[in-house]
Structures are given as C-alpha cells and as structure tokens.
Structure 1
C-alpha cells in the first residue's frame, strides 16, 4: 500500500483532504497541479500548497516511503523500536531516525492529551530510573522520574484505556490537578493508601482506598491486577528496546506505549490513523523537539 513515493503521496492526499482539495487560504475547491514540484495551486487565489506544509512532515528532505516505514515500525511493534534500530532499517543517519521517532511520538502524545478516563479506574504511583550507589533509595531518590499510571477497566475486568502522565511529585496539589484534567467526574478510582491520592475526590470522583502492607502485598491485590500488568509490560518494553532514556523525553516514550495500548484492538488502522493525525499536527523543528517536556 505504501511501497512507492506515488502511493505514499496519494495516501497523504486522501488523509489531508478526505472530501477533496480545499484551499487553506480562501477555501476554494478548484485547483491545478504543478506536477514536477508536487504542489497544488488554487484557481482562485493562486496560492500554492505543499502536501507536507504546516504538518509534522514540514520541510522534510526524506522520502515519504521512509516516513511510512517509520510509522509502520513504531506502531506495530509493542516493544517499541529504538532510533538506532530505525536507522538500520532505512539506511539513514541516527540523527534523521531520531527526528522521525521524536516527531511521530510527539504526534501520539498530543493526540491523547485531551482524552479522559471514566468508569472504574485502577491508579498507582510509579517511577522510571534505577537506583544509584550512594544515593537515597525509594520514592525520593535522585534521578528518578515520577509518573501516574491509571487503567480504565470494565465491570468484567479487562482494561480499555490507560493514561501515563509525568508529575512533579506525589503531592496533593499535583494529584488534584492531574485528576481534574484526566478523569471524568463520577468515576470510581481504586488506589493504595498513599496520602496524596485522597485529592482525587476534588475532581468529583469516588475514591476507593485499599490499605496494603507494602509493594509485594500491593502486587498481589486483585484490585490492582491490571495496573500492575501494564506497568510490568511498560518497563519490560523500555528495558528491551532502549539502553537509556533521558528524563526530559520520558513523557514521549510513555505516550508511545499508551498510544499503541489504547488502539491495540485494531492494529491495521494504526498507520492511516497516525498519518491522519500527523497531517493535523503543527511542525516541530528540532529545537522544539529538544525542549524539556513538562
């Protein structure tokens, strides 16, 4: 379906203008094509439009087939793919593969930003980053990145969606802000007895607190089966695919895992869906990609 430049270009056309061409400047639907430059020119205002302009593909010098293969590899492998492995697959430089990876994962992150969880939700605190010799262990350890893991489940049990969000720390103010942003009022949230989780009620949610004896006891509680399973799969995927992840990019890698998980029941639709969203995501030059994420 995406083996040649022409096929990829046609796929972009269908995704960008599913109802036919419409000029972004004047809205006119009649146009001519400047074939040798792959531009569409509006018949009314004469404005020329590039297929990739003002999208995540803006100003790219790489073939579209490289982008589409990158989309395929990133969306279909549940363990994720490193930038080095992506570079080997396409025979491009590491820096080019890094930009492809970070831009596509940025699209995933922005796409899921507005989604909220509802119903029965399992909640847990988690950290990324290993222990360091000579430093304090546990939650307050230096170099660890704290994040919230929430799993929306059905009454029958299986999970439907997840939300993985970095926070500044496990404090009431942080959990209150997070729950108001990502949880629907009236949801039932099940968590352990960490004091900050009581702030969930400020979002209009019912808080079901279960007192556990420790991390091992928490892992054995049936009420937390799915959130523990998700966290285990997440950390296994990160360990198997990446040697290291810089703290300022952690949210993108969490968003990548989250995006695939939330759409795991329809893998064949992942490629056109990600292409569709990529064409509606503003350009991300490298200097913006390297800014620390909140």
Structure 2
C-alpha cells in the first residue's frame, strides 16, 4: 500500500556550476496523513528553521509552506526531471524503498516512522568517519530518556 512521506534534505556543499553535488547534508523523513496545506505547514514548522530556503515542486498545498520559511523556490516538475530538481530527496526515497523491501519484506504502517528514523539516522552519519565515536559519546551523555518507569504487580516495567 502507498503511504505519504515528506522528505527534507539540506545541501552539504556548493560544487562548481558544472559539477553535481556529491554530498547531502542532513535528511529527514516524516510520515504524513494527507497532503493538505495545514498538515504540511505543521510538519515543516517542527523541523525547519524560519530563515531556511525551501526548494519544492509546484503542488498547490506548498503555498502554506511559503509562510513558514523566509525564501522558497517552487518549480513545476515533470516525471523525468524530478531527480534533477531534488536529487538527494529522490536518491534517499529510492534507497529507503529498496532497503525496506529487500531487508524487511514489508513493514506495518504503524512502525514505518520508526524505520524511517533509523534510515535517516544512518544516512546522516555516513560522513562522520573517525568522529563517529566522539559523536556517540556526546549523544549518550546528553540523552534524556522519554519513558517513565512503572510498577505492575510489584515488578518494574519500562514503557
């Protein structure tokens, strides 16, 4: 079945005009319920800073996104030109689809956001190289758990 997923990427480098960008900055994927303007606006407000520039296709609901960011570029995109306008978005979608179908052989819709989070986590860290351990230590030290400990029948239970 088809599920709506909003994908955001940021540029990592500025290549020369004749070269293609070979790196992607951070990537984020979010499952959304519909393509209504308010749904897109709330998703963008949660994850994009107001001084960002948004490059998007010319879908009607994207007019609400223009109210959230300082600058926006909307382009009418035909099927074969889509990977040229938003290359890393389409590469990430393709990689995620192939990973999910090859490795997991299908995912329940209720768990899709967790799998997308894991995919983005790994994708965003592929250029860390030798800084990976330092980043892991920082993440472990600054992590605040979001679950509460509860007692059921005298036994501790997390979740």
- 1:35-67 Cα deviation digits (max 9, x unpaired): xxxxxxxxxxxxxxxxxxxxxxxxxxxxxxxxx
1:153 pairs with one of 3, 8, 11: 11
**Does the 8 Å contact 1:166/1:251 carry over to 2?**
yes
**Does the 8 Å contact 2:10/2:27 carry over to 1?**
yes
1:192 pairs with one of 57, 65, 77: 57
State how far apart, in whole Å, the 1-side matches of 2:29 and 2:113 are: 8
**1:254 maps to what in 2?**
116
Number of corresponding residues: 143
The equivalences for 1:1-40 within 5 A come to none
State how far apart, in whole Å, the 2-side matches of 1:255 and 1:274 are: 19
Tell me whether 263-272 or 186-195 shows the greater mean CA deviation.
263-272
Distance 1:226 1:183, change over 3 A: same
What SS is found at the alignment partner of 1:248? helix
State how far apart, in whole Å, the 2-side matches of 1:152 and 1:162 are: 7
Structure 2 gaps of 5+ residues are 16-20, 150-156
**Does the 8 Å contact 2:54/2:69 carry over to 1?**
no
- 1:137-169 Cα deviation digits (max 9, x unpaired): xxxxxxx32110011013333311011111111
State how far apart, in whole Å, the 2-side matches of 1:259 and 1:210 are: 29
State how far apart, in whole Å, the 2-side matches of 1:238 and 1:284 are: 31
**Structure number with higher strand proportion:** 2
Cα shift at 1:240: 1.6
The equivalences for 1:126-141 within 5 A come to 129=1
State how far apart, in whole Å, the 2-side matches of 1:235 and 1:284 are: 34
State the structure with more CA Rg: 1
**Does the 8 Å contact 1:190/1:209 carry over to 2?**
yes
Structure 1 gaps of 5+ residues are 1-128, 130-143, 289-294
Question: Which protein, 1 or 2, shows the higher relative CO under an 8 Å CA cutoff with sep ≥ 6?
Answer: 1
Are 2:37 and 1:172 equivalent residues in the alignment? yes
State how far apart, in whole Å, the 2-side matches of 1:284 and 1:248 are: 22
What SS is found at the alignment partner of 1:236? helix
What SS is found at the alignment partner of 2:49? coil
Cα shift at 1:177: 0.8
Q: CA RMSD in A?
A: 2.7
State how far apart, in whole Å, the 2-side matches of 1:223 and 1:240 are: 27
Are 2:144 and 1:280 equivalent residues in the alignment? yes
**2:95 maps to what in 1?**
233
State how far apart, in whole Å, the 2-side matches of 1:202 and 1:231 are: 26
